[in-house]
Amino acid sequence: MKVLFFGDIFGRSGRDALINKLPFFKKKYNPDFIIANGENASHGKGISQSICNDLFSAGIDVITGGNHIFDNHDVFKFIDNEKRLLRPNNYPIDTPGNGYGIYEKNQKKILVINVMGRVFMQPLDDPFESIRKILNEKKIGIDVSAIIIDIHCEATSEKMAVGHEFDGKSSLIVGTHTHIPTADSRILENGTAYISDLGMCGDYNSIIGMDKNKALERFKKKIPVKGINPSTGEATLSSVLVEVDDRTGLAKSIQQIIIGGSLKEIM
């Protein structure tokens, strides 16, 4: 089974590029299951139902979230019922939405878990325990064909800690949130594919997706700056393609794919 995972979709530039380019990815890489982090898809903060519908219609199977998942209040209208949209599982227990789900595709069951880190982030519940409770109930190669974890956080050390803690118990662990693709995609020693950060689907002629001039003004003046909007130039699509062993659920290979925009392409 092949799993394709796209980094944080940022604003119109990112989501339009992803929707337009998905047919190319499907034809060239033939993925069985496609995931994207979408917490910045709506003008850089949050996501709406119409954007979700556009992404699902284009071929995205599951959308994961993070600290901006609730910034567009439209999400409260549908997140409880839309099981294909996830928010971090370690939010308080009564938070709307779901932190994980099991999805059936081509007669295979794929478990996707979304958690958020706590280093330099909101003081949420323990992400390690949040994942562990789920994995105590669901085993790769037995209960499900694959287990995929999105750890959304600032610190690469915390992402790596999650990677090593659940190495051999999951198929793929990806870091999201910083919008900068890291060069450490690999298979860990017990068979789990890992990357510290996928990067983003957005315009890199920016400051992590936002208009660079306005964002720079905020850094220089250290005062509130109005009108910081997503950059609208050509987007880069950052992702990884992972081949999962159908028998064990562990990773056989991981390939970083970066296409378009101002970053060096990797295909």
Specify the length of the chain in residues.
267
Diameter over CA atoms, the chain: 56
Residues 62 and 172: their CA atoms lie apart, in Å, by: 15
Q: Give CA–CA dist 161/155, Å, rounded.
A: 10
Return the active site residues.
68
Q: How far is CA 200 from CA 7, 127, 204, 235, in A?
A: 4, 22, 9, 9
- The answer to whether 41 and 17 have CB atoms below 8 angstroms apart is no
- Residue identified by tokens 């119109």 is 12
Task: Supply φ then ψ for residue 82, to 5 degrees.
Answer: -95, 95
Go through 5-18 and write b for each residue having 16 or more CB atoms within 10 A of its CB, e for each that does not. Answer: bbbbbbbbbbbebb
